Amino acid sequence: MDMRTTNLPYYQAAGQEIALFEHAWCKRLPVLIKGPTGVGKTRFVAYMAARLGLPLFTVACHDDLTAADLVGRHLIQDGQTVWSDGPLTRAVREGGICYLDEVVEARKDTTVVIHPLADHRRTLPIDRTGELLHAPDSFMLVVSYNPGYQNFLKGLKPSTRQRFVSLRFDFPDAEREEAILIGETGCDPMLARRLVALGNSMRSLNNVDLEEAASTRLLVYAAILIGDGMDPIEACRAALAESLTDDVEVSAALLELVTATFGG
């Protein structure tokens, strides 16, 4: 196993996810990562790609993403029709990791493409060119989604989910989240402690309507702004309160927590 030990993206492990990912890669198993927004799913995949020394092809899935966007299409160049590989095809050819972020946001025809890559076949048929690519041993398919945000119309089908081994990510405990803030931003431990306490207070609110809880990513943003000399209350207003909601009353409720944390 060719692992790079230097220049790795910062990542603070929560449990056995690194070992599981490595075992899955060695045994050519696809991986599904599920968890809320901003808890490190994408960072983890980038870390593992660098750790394993593999090229990484990341696709941010959305409603208009089609199978052709993943596999490739014919384009007109200099008056000629040429084939252009999509990111999934490039990952297969180069033996890298293809990471489909928020895979359930993509159109349903994309699952038809990934199914043969996510089982024993490990193949990618390209109908437009007549090719049938066999994934090399180093290729890995990784997908992620946020089950808490999705409704039953956008859940991952069992026939797709059961092709993957799965990892569940959640908000870090306070000690690990403080270490993440310090590692990401270089902020002092006291600021990290106060921001983590603020984030947990926001996550515990029961009387406000938030689509997403305060993520570790947003706490990192707040720490960066404060570290650059911005007033902590204004930094948290921009990075947390206003980022989490458009509702004026809900934003004001969040700002009360910010003021209680940094106003004294």
Predicted pLDDT at 228: 96
Nearest 5°: phi and psi at 7? 60, 30
Distance CA 187, CA 224 (A): 8
What average pLDDT does the chain have? 91
Predicted pLDDT at 105: 87
Mean per-residue pLDDT, 15-31: 97
Predicted pLDDT at 242: 95
Mean per-residue pLDDT, 220-229: 97
**Residue 134: pLDDT over 90:** yes
**Residue 152: pLDDT over 50:** no
Q: Helix 248-262 and helix 189-203: axis angle, to 10°? A: 150
Give Cβ neighbours of residue 26 (< 8 Å, ≥ 6 apart).
Answer: 1
Q: pLDDT tier at 26 (50, 70, 90 boundaries)?
A: very high
Predicted pLDDT at 107: 83
Query: What proportion of the chain, given as a percentage, has pLDDT over 90?
Result: 71
pTM here? 0.87
Mean per-residue pLDDT, 117-128: 93
Q: Which CATH number describes the domain made up of 17-168?
A: 3.40.50.300
**Residue 141: pLDDT over 90:** yes
Of 3-7, 52-56, 197-201, 233-237, least confident by mean pLDDT is: 3-7
The percent helix, strand, coil of the chain (3-state, each to 5) is 45, 15, 40
Q: Could you say which DSSP state residue 81 is in? A: E
Chain position carrying tokens 């931003």: 185
Predicted pLDDT at 149: 57
pLDDT tens per residue, range 159-199: 888 999 999 999 999 999 999 999 999 999 999 999 999 99
Answer for the pair 179, 11: CB distance below 8 angstroms, yes or no. Answer: no
**Residue 40: pLDDT over 50:** yes
pLDDT tens per residue, range 196-218: 999 999 999 877 778 888 999 99
pLDDT tens per residue, range 53-71: 999 999 999 988 999 999 9
Structural domain boundaries in the chain: 17-168, 174-262
Please name the amino acid found at residue 263: G
Distance CA 222, CA 147 (A): 26
Length of the chain, please? 264
